[in-house]
Structure 1
Amino acid sequence: MELIGPLQVKVMHHIWSRGPSTVHDVHDELMADPQAKRLAYTTILTVMRNLARRGFLDQAPDGRAHRFSAKVDETTYKRELLHVVRTEVFRGDLRSLLDAVASDSGLTPEQQNQVRGLIVAAG
């Protein structure tokens, strides 16, 4: 499975959480975030068409618009992404992967301790 970029992941998160959606639906939700980068409707249209072409979304006519639905579920994508990270980036070294997660500055101290507990449990 191919990996997808950050904007594509945002689109997929919308589809995974909301179900089949039009470009208008996705664009409106993404633009509802006041801190989001302003994106043209046509940008989201292109992203969604590319995701359909790459096998992540199905596209079906819905009146004058098209409704896109997920062909790849969220759990499957996450599993494949972690497989690539573990095998390609960390060369199969689970401890190094967990060390990197534990040192993520975005985690709370409690979350870091939970990850360190996993490292100890993994040996």
Structure 2
Amino acid sequence: MEDFKELTKAEEQIMKELWEMERGFVKEIIDRLPKPKPAYNTVSTIVRILETKGFVTHESFGKSHQYSPKISKEEYKKGLTGKLLTNYFDNSPKSMLSYFLEENRLDVRELDEILSIIERNK
């Protein structure tokens, strides 16, 4: 997990759009963002940072670039969850689940669904 790179909030917002779009130009990403819209240069800079971090790749079309995710949302989720599990729950899914139960972040119906998933994957 030590090589896992976590996204900033701004980077995550851009990645969420790219994951949904699958590919897009900076202008198309901006069009999907909530108001107030960030400046073109801001989004362009964030996308280039994401490319440097290895999250995004691009295809050139003259002077413009079409960006696409290099890492899937599932890959990122797996890394983020692993980091959370390792750093805060001593690598214990049981400890993490107990935390969610104690904090009332999980109700009985959701717990039943989790138990069903466990049964199906035995």
Both proteins in one fold, TM over 0.5: yes
Cα root mean square deviation, aligned: 2.4
Q: Which has the higher contact order (CA 8 A, sep 6+)?
A: 2
Distance 1:104 1:50 in 2: 37
The question of 1:25 aligning with 2:28 is answered: yes
Letter in 2 for 1:77: Y
Distance 1:19 1:104 in 2: 35
Match of 1:58 in 2: 57
Farther off after superposition, 46-55 or 56-65: 56-65
Match of 1:2 in 2: 5
Unaligned runs of 5+ residues in structure 2 are none
Aligned length: 112
Q: Is the 8 A contact 2:27 2:40 kept in 1?
A: yes
- SS at the partner of 2:107? helix
Q: Is the 8 A contact 1:101 1:115 kept in 2?
A: no
- SS at the partner of 1:21? coil
Letter in 2 for 1:12: M
Letter in 2 for 1:40: A
Quote how far apart the aligned CAs of 1:76 are.
0.8
Quote how far apart the aligned CAs of 1:115 are.
4.5
Give the TM-score normalised by structure 1.
0.77
Match of 1:113 in 2: 108
Distance 2:17 2:50 in 1: 13
Unaligned runs of 5+ residues in structure 1 are 106-110
Match of 1:95 in 2: 94
Identical pairs, percent: 22
Match of 2:84 in 1: 85
